[in-house]
Structure 1
Amino acid sequence: MLAFTLKRLLSGAILLVAVATGTFFLAYLAIPDPTLGLLGSAATPDAQAALAQKIGTDRPLLVQFGDWIGGMLRGDFGDSWKNFQPVGKQIGLKLPVTLSVVSAATLLSAVLGGVLGVIAGLRPNSWTDRTVKAGAVILFALPGFWVALVLVMIFAVQLKWFPAVGYTQPTQSAGGWLLSITLPSFALALGAVVMIAEQLRSAIILADRQDYVRTLRSRGLPQWRVVVHLVRNAAPASLTVLALMFVGLLSGAVVVEQIFALPGIGAQTLGASQNGDIPVLLGITVITVVFVVIVNFLLDVLLGWINPKARAK
């Protein structure tokens, strides 16, 4: 297990460096002259040259990359080209908002998707199974932004149960914080619930046909213990989907944060893209990849613990 864990840590570190390198050069390829976005189209050549010297883009690209990658490995993402404040500090102020919504959406996806998947998987082709499948098709087909707007209209505007926009810090009010992330989390989670429920349903139906399940039932084992065995054997595929959903939810948070006016990294990413603020874009990308690597690492370790055969991969 130790060798398996170390191997996954090494592969995660390699992935982080590879993505950071690719993102750096792609950013400069997409924004060859960031001074235009920072100063505007009316900027004079002298102003552009002065800003390029200040932010260091007048140097060779490989020199810039060496300085940035060295700082990144030390945890220093440099300064923003827009306001010249440390990138790490700015991301640190926005990241908790996004993580609050994404973490809550992931938890909702796991719980709701797990319950629906188990119910449908234990009664295939029943009215419950058909209802879950029909609901899954409908929810999967609906655009995420439309679902978010409907939730706002019903639960915020009409019923007034939740705030329509804005974010409350948990240090100010734990109840207000929970209310402020509820609608965004549900809007973000609905598509993931569908995927997890479908995956778990299929895995449970497949596991229920195995010989060991018939043996357990023939020995008179209570139904709840049989279900535990089924869920444990069906869990690896669903956990993999859940980890992929976490990555997708991070991306989907950009749209949801705009609809609910949340001050997360989604709005920060859009602003940096419009302004050509490459250090902020690179910092957000690296932080996002770090979380993806951590989630995949925890998933691999968990799967290796559940299924020893996975350690050999």
Structure 2
Amino acid sequence: MTRLVVRRLLLAVPLLLIVSTLTFVLTAVAPGDPAATILGSSATPESIAELNAKLGLDDPILVQYGRWLGDAVTGDLGTSVVTSQSVGQAIGARLPTTLSLVLLGTLVAAVVGIGLGMVSALGGRALSRVTDVLAVVGYVIPNFWLGLMLVYVLSVKLAWFPATGYVALSDSPGGWLRSLVLPVTALAVMGATAVAKQTRDAMREVMGREFITALRADGFSEKQIVFRHALRNAAIPIVTVTGVLFIGMFGGTVLVESVFVLPGLGGLAVTSAQAGDLTMLQGVAVVFCLAVVAANLVVDLAYGWLNPKVRVQ
């Protein structure tokens, strides 16, 4: 297991280099001039050129990237060229919002999806068809549209939950939970349907194996068979789709954070891209990449716990 962790961490190094390089190059060649954005529409070409030189934005791309990479290795992600704010501080202020949204969204999708998938697998064709219908509905409904409908019904009409804003967990646990109910629901619906279908298919395959028949013959209760034996054997594909879901939710937060006006990394990435803030966008991309690495590592550790054969590979 230790070798598995070390191997994953070593593979993360080239992944981070590739992601940071692509992000830096693509953002640098995109239309727009950060210096012109900072100085405004009344800026002269001379003042724009002077500011670009001061910020080092007129240097070759490789020189800019090398300078950023040298600082990043020491933990310094730089300073925003637009707001003059530390990138690390800006990300640190917004990271709890995005992590709360993604972690709760993944948890809700996993719990609801596994429950629905198990009921579908054990309950016959009618429930299986219901799962298929819900899966299609979950896939075709955009999360931003669902978010708007949730705001209209549960916030505007019924006034059950706040429509926008975020309350930090340290300020009020109850307020934190209420502020995330609607965005988490909008984010988790599609994921829950994917987990449900994967759970149903995996459980059906496991329940048809010979060892399940042997357990029934030995007198094990159906509850023991399902929860202690069948679910664990079906867990690896479920863990896989949950890991993919966790990673995908970081992309979904961009729209959901916009709908519910949440101060997260998705909104920071959008505003940075619009302003041509290369340093800030680069920092957000690195954090997203680290989240992918962490998710893959957790999935691998879960494989090792569920399947002892993985531990010795």
TM bracket, shorter-chain basis: over 0.9
| Separation of aligned partners in 2, 1:216 and 1:41 | 76
2:268 corresponds to: 268
Residue of structure 2 in register with 1:217 after alignment: 216
Deviations 1:243-289 (A, max 9, x none): 11111111111111111111111221111111100001000000111
Report how far residue 117 of structure 1 moved: 1.0
Mapped contact 2:166–2:263 kept (Cα < 8 A): yes
Structure 1 position 303, deviation (Å): 0.6
Asked if 1:239 corresponds to 2:239, the answer is yes
Contact 1:79–1:86, Cα closer than 8 Å, also in 2: yes
Which range moved further: 178-187 or 43-52?
A: 43-52
Q: Output aligned runs, 1:12-23, within 5 Å.
A: 12-23=12-23
2:140 partner letter: A
Q: AA paired with 2:156?
A: V
Note if contact 1:243-1:296 (Cα within 8 Å) is conserved in structure 2.
yes
Please list the CA deviations of residues 108-160 of structure 1 after superposition, one character each: whole Å capped at 9, or x if unmatched. Answer: 011101111111112241x2222222222212211211111111111111111
* Counterpart secondary structure, 1:117: helix
**What pairs up with 1:251-266 in 2 under 5 angstroms?**
251-266=251-266
| Aligned residue type for 2:4 | F
On the 8 A contact 2:34/2:82 being kept in 1, the answer is no
Task: Tell me what 2:279 maps to.
Answer: 279
The residue type paired with residue 233 of structure 1 is N
Q: Provide the rounded CA distance (Å) in 2 between the counterparts of 1:218 and 1:155.
A: 50
Summarize deviations over 1:64-105 as a string: whole Å, max 9, x none. 111111111221110001111111101111111111111111
Cα distance in 1 between the residues matched to 2:28 and 2:152:
41
Kindly report which structure 2 residues correspond to 1:102-121, keeping only aligned pairs within 5 A, or say none.
Answer: 102-121=102-121
Task: Structure 2: give runs of 5+ residues left out of the alignment.
Answer: none
Two-structure CA RMSD over aligned residues (Å): 1.7
1:154 corresponding residue in structure 2: 153
Q: Which residue of 2 aligns with 1:78?
A: 78
For 1:172, what is the secondary structure of its paired residue?
coil
Report the AA paired with residue 147 of structure 2. A
The residue identity in structure 2 corresponding to 1:260 is: F
2:60 equivalent in structure 1: 60
**TM-score, structure 2 length as denominator?**
0.94
Q: CA deviation at 1:218?
A: 1.6
Deviates more, 1:269-278 or 1:116-125: 116-125
1:206-248 alpha-carbon deviations (Å, 9 max, x no partner)? 1111111111112111111211211111111111111111111
Partner Cα distance (2:3, 2:207) in 1: 33
CA-CA distance at 1:35 after TM superposition = 2.9
1:197 matched to 2:196? The reply is yes
TM-score, length-scaled by structure 1: 0.94
Counterpart check, 1:141 vs 2:146 = no
Question: What code does the residue aligned with 1:84 have?
Answer: S
Measure the CA separation in 2 of the matches of 1:219 and 1:159. Answer: 54
Compute the displacement of 1:31 (Å): 4.4
DSSP 3-state at the match of 1:168: coil
Number of residue pairs the alignment of both structures matches? 312
Partner Cα distance (1:262, 1:133) in 2: 32
Q: Is the 8 A contact 1:102 1:246 kept in 2?
A: yes
1:294 aligns with 2:286: no
**Amino acid corresponding to residue 191 of structure 1 in structure 2:** M
SS in 2 for 1:166: coil
- Structure 2 CA distance for partners of 1:41 and 1:240, relative to 1, 3 Å: farther
